Amino acid sequence: MRTIRSRFRLRSATLAGALGAALLLAPLPAQQAVAASTLTNPGFESDGAGTATPSGWSTYSAAGQNAASFTEAGGHSGGHRLSHWSSSAYKVETYQYLSGLADGTYTLSAWVRSGGGQNAAYLALRNCGSAEQRTDLPVTTSSWIRVVTSVKVVGGGCTISVNSDANAGNWLNVDDLTFTSGSTGLTVKGVDLSALKKNEDFGATYKNAAGTTGDPVALLKGVGATYGRLKVWVNPADGYNTKTQVLATAKRVKAQGMKLLVDFHYSDIWADPGAQSKPAAWAGHSYGQLRTDVYNHTYDVLNALKAQGTTADMVQIGNEINTGMLWPEGSTSNWPQLAGLLNSGISAAKAVSSSTQIALHLANGGDNALYRTWFDNATAQGVSYDVIALSFYGYWHGALSSLQTNLDDIAARYGKKVMVAETAYPFRLDSEDAHENIIDLSSELVSGYPASPSGQSAWLRDVMNVVEAVPGGRGLGVVYWEPAWTAVTGNGWDPTDPSSGNAWENQALFDYDSRLLPAANWFAHR
């Protein structure tokens, strides 16, 4: 996790008119199947500005607030867009019914913006002969983001719908919709459980949302988690996150039917862009010996996992290696040597299991220039891998639109699957223990995402939406970082200091009463 050591140590719309009080959206009135099988006016260019019901579309509001839906100048492409806005609270839906569709799975794609604050703002696919599907609009303000949602069409018809249940002044924009054959979804809906064993050893317990105590791995699996991520240190001072603990927790992950992602740090302590310290046992080794060390360590851990029936499904060779690993020999200032170290780890992983996917993991997930430079070098040096993994924390790494730009570009440029291997968000700002939290000020938050259970839920939801929208099905998924690292005395950030505190408990997925938070339910979404 980026800067973890230093951070732990330191602390538009056009006026649509004033409208009456909003009522709940009623079901759509009966529709005649007279529409075409392709979207009409998907870019809202046919009518100019100020049209409440654009050509090809219908508008519905139970309270007669149709004027809250209108076209205006300023599209994602072209000259116009659809907007929802009113100076008073409103509920409105803009929709188009398609008929004559061949049965099968279809995906809706749209470019969207939203100022946030609505009770609900989403795209929906309904009346399609299967369960309604929705995708909520991220809070994006000035930047457009592409979102997708897919549905199984049975019976030849489907309604494409833009919905707002909004407070006075809330707004959204939608443009450039497409509705084509294909499906979306995420394979990796992961949780990093590296701190779990130590947390439990020092007394942590976990409960479901109703307050019933249970196995945290089972609780997370029960709300849809499909992957467990475990970091490996070589010889840490506290004896945790070694092969022994990884083997034990891997059994629990696999017993729940989840897949396993193993994250090699090649260090005795946190490895990130600001610190890639060699393990003490390797400190005096030559570059050639370090290559052997990497191979032997990687093979030893992965082969032990295989021997106990918990073969790793994916392996990270290094953690947040923006600047390389095993400094100074493996610094990015010497790419041939860094490539040699990476290839040693990759060879060891593939020797244990040829089907194990290899991920290379950087931080700063919104920095496209960094990723192009780094992976251009990796390609030139012949580094072989399967997945590009990113850390993306919005309070450090930029806007969601920057994440999307980077994911889309690197997936296409390198022809690889991409995933967010680390993200998280606070559900409150205060600390449960005496240690200052990494994020503990409102000024540190991402605009539109409060430090609350709902803000945390929206953040995870929207990061997942962005990854799901990567073209070509190359968006693998998202891993939430350390959801079970709650505040217990003895399991602080510093493995060399038993008295150190936890600066992360306000970003866990279990609250200060040890109950599972609502954000975890998003793992079950598609």
Residues forming the active site:
320, 422
Separation CA 323–CA 200 (nearest Å): 34
Q: Where are the alpha helices (DSSP H) in 179-318?
A: 196-201, 216-222, 243-255, 287-307
Rounded to the nearest 5 degrees, what angle is found at the Cα of 228, between the Cα atoms of 148 and 439?
75
How far is the C-alpha of 493 from the C-alpha of 477, rounded, in Å?
27
* Residue 356 DSSP one-character state: S
In sequence order, what are the residues at sequence separation of 6 or more whose Cβ sits closer than 8 angstroms to the Cβ of residue 459?
394, 423, 425, 446, 449, 519
Q: What is the CA radius of gyration of the chain?
A: 24
3-state secondary structure at position 88: coil
For 284-343, give the secondary structure using H, E and C.
CCCHHHHHHHHHHHHHHHHHHHHHCCCCCCEEEECCCCCCECCCCCCECCCHHHHHHHHH
State how far the Cα of 164 lies from the Cα of 65, in Å rounded to an integer. Answer: 11
Q: Are 98 and 157 in contact (CB under 8 A)?
A: yes
3-state secondary structure string, 12-37?
Answer: CCCCCCCCCCCCCCCCCCCCCCCCCC
How far is 399 from 501, CA to CA, in rounded Å? 30
**CB-based contact 352:306 (threshold 8 Å):** yes
Q: What is the DSSP letter of 516?
A: B
Rounded to whole angstroms, the Cα distance separating 55 from 498 reads: 66
Q: Which residue has the tokens 């700063």?
A: 364
- Output phi, psi for 316, to 5 deg: -90, 125
Looking at residue 138, its amino acid is P
